[in-house]
Structure 1
């Protein structure tokens, strides 16, 4: 990868996109983001050019990608909502890929999910599989990264587990809590993305961290690290979802969805593969124990 090449990152003012953009800047590249957000405070102090994420305007989307060597795509939606839906995210991303090819983008680094399947009844995993196929069939060079759960300063899942441990006298897990997760540090994912942006071979990589937890172990470990040793009880998925829906209404957010519970319990956030990230969640959490979960992290708030 040559210095001063133009690289385009979707959502560089968001979560994982911000870390990818920062690493590209550190390597001396020009960085452009296509984004729906206009930050109050620019984390890059004007170093990242920004264009609107105009899925409904093909020519504008092509123009935003023209001249780029690599596109890093982090765009997606976590769940269906009145303002965004999985099926729309799939259609929008296919438009993005088509625009990238027309613009002459040489390579696409695309963030997917572990265990995607077009046969899945879960829209998240089904949609991610459809997009992987669309990228493979596009004719562009690609790297597909399949992370499980991300953690870092702006994380939602790990933070809100800690928040629940701080706020509630008892914490429930869905079923026996034996289903597994392999969290990867967001900057480790960014490092992997930039490394793959510099490569040429098309490949698919499971982007997982060095530690594997059962969900019950994860909750207990976080509780121990932040000094909140709460009783952990098993609840049925339906009862757990109902309790989480009440929490969601209280905080004005979607705490977790039925599909997310089903995906967790189906062990879809686990793969039998060597880790690609080196940062241990336990080490990171200890460094941030004082602030981890101190405030609720809102998915809808982030999108607003």
Structure 2
């Protein structure tokens, strides 16, 4: 192995209270200390045609009269297009310089504004309401039973509210979420996309099990 390209996350922190961000920081430190040539790319909220989060936000907005936003909804997200992220990874794989950079798109939204934008584009009449994070998590557990999935974890809720998926760096990726959404809104929310099925179905099938859904 001559060069290692690692997809990390924005704002990794060895002291983070969130296991995902702490784990990413540990991985980065391990790679930096390995002696290998490396590129560490830190994306924010990734969107694209096979995206889970944006699709499932649209799915909920299309099927329920209310969408619960955690807290005040004023925490920020800076979406990055999956194709732009892939292109950046390929570009950095061809260089020899050790580099750590954020992969972010050109637009920053509050989470409430992001949900509102999706709502308007998919033609939803759902009311967006601010909800206590603990109550929102309890509601999500009920939804888990309906879709046989983990819709959101407690850590994901509080990590999002901590402004962990925004960057202070100049955007390296050019595709705007608003333009992409305008062109692809008809494809969003048609079906619920199960994170468990997406990531663990093959493992369970290899072990002789199958996740229904």
Taking structure 2 as the reference length, the TM-score comes to: 0.92
Show the counterpart of 1:267.
163
The size of the alignment, in residue pairs, is: 200
- Give the number of the structure with larger relative contact order, counting CA–CA contacts within 8 Å between residues 6 or more apart: 2
Aligned match of 1:209: 105
2:185 maps to which of 289, 292, 297: 289
The structure with more helix, counted as a fraction of residues: 2
* Structure 1 residues not aligned, in runs of 5+: 1-104
Equivalence map 1:55-204=2 (5 Å): 105-204=1-100
Measure how far apart 1:284 and its partner are. 1.1
Tell me by how many angstroms 1:229 deviates. Answer: 3.7
Structure number with greater Rg is 1
**Conservation of the 8 A alpha-carbon contact between 2:7 and 2:43:** yes
Give the CA deviation at 1:230: 2.2
Q: Distance in 1 between matches of 2:82 and 2:151?
A: 21
Deviates more, 1:135-144 or 1:274-283: 274-283
Matches for 1:236-255 after TM superposition, within 5 Å? 236-255=132-151
Name 1:55's counterpart in structure 2: none
After the TM superposition, list the runs of 4 or more consecutive aligned residues in structure 1 that deviate by more than 6 angstroms.
Answer: none
- Give the alignment of 1:42-53 within 5 angstroms: none
Structure 2 residues without counterparts, runs of 5 or longer: 202-213
TM-score (norm 1): 0.65
Question: What per-residue deviation string (whole Å, max 9, x for no partner) do you get for residues 199-234 of structure 1?
Answer: 110010100111111000000000111111421111
